[in-house]
Amino acid sequence: MTFPLQYTATALAAGAGLLLWIVEGAMPFFRDRSSRGRHAVLNLGLAATNLLIILPIDLVTVLILGNMKPVIPSLSSLVPGGLTRTLAILLLLDLWMYLWHRLNHETPLLWRFHSVHHSDPQLDVTSAWRFHPGEIALSGVLRLPVLLLIGAGPEELVLYNLLMTPVIEFHHSNVRLPEATDRLLRTLLPTPLMHRIHHSILRNEHDSNYGALLSVWDRLFGTLHLAGVEPSKPLGLNGESGFERQRLGALLSKPFSH
């Protein structure tokens, strides 16, 4: 079941990303996007680099989850089986994603790598794939003991990715939504407005709205930040938007240049 579901997740992520890229070109929120193609090539170049890292990590993770017998009772074993247990695992996985994202902002070493994602001055759907390979490697390795603690199997992991990835692409996208629509959606999901605040150049704004699949964690832990966002709002990091700082080589070396 795992590999057909993985193929479905990959196809859905690619299809959703392409659709959002087309839609944001037709109805953008930020309109000063004259170099969308070059921007996409840069971010997808980072994504392609990351695939070389995450694919073997994911393969090892799936093999371990599918074959290792639990040494201690997992968190999900406290919940009855079936659909209830699956939902509990998905919630715990999303809680981990929230905590991991928050740690990347609050831990100086992790921020060195995560700042590559935040240095993007032109937020759009391709930004959802823009991460430093070091962050991807750390995330993949540190995720394994968390998965074992939760009691997630390969199917639950792939199912979570199937649900999460299009949502992450959506809230990074430059699609213009009516305020009422965004307000309705953010009762459950992180939305483009929430994530534009998260990518603000202001530190007190980008240290907020950490949710991946669900917005409930930001509400629960007091990291929800809502404010008006204008199309002229500056995004990224101070001093990081210049052409030389936005080249692939500069982004790859960025964590080691402090």
| Assigned token pair, 179 | 């305020």
Q: Where are the domains of the chain?
A: 2-256
Close Cβ partners of 186 (under 8 Å, ≥ 6 residues apart): 193, 194, 215
d(CA 248, CA 120): 12
For helices 154-172 and 36-67, the axis angle rounded to 10 degrees is: 160
**Residues 19-54 pLDDT 10s:** 999 999 999 999 877 789 999 999 999 999 998 998
**Residues 200-251 pLDDT 10s:** 999 999 999 999 999 999 999 999 999 888 988 899 999 988 888 999 999 9
d(CA 164, CA 215): 12
Placement of tokens 């795992």 in the chain: 2
d(CA 155, CA 78): 19
pTM: 0.93
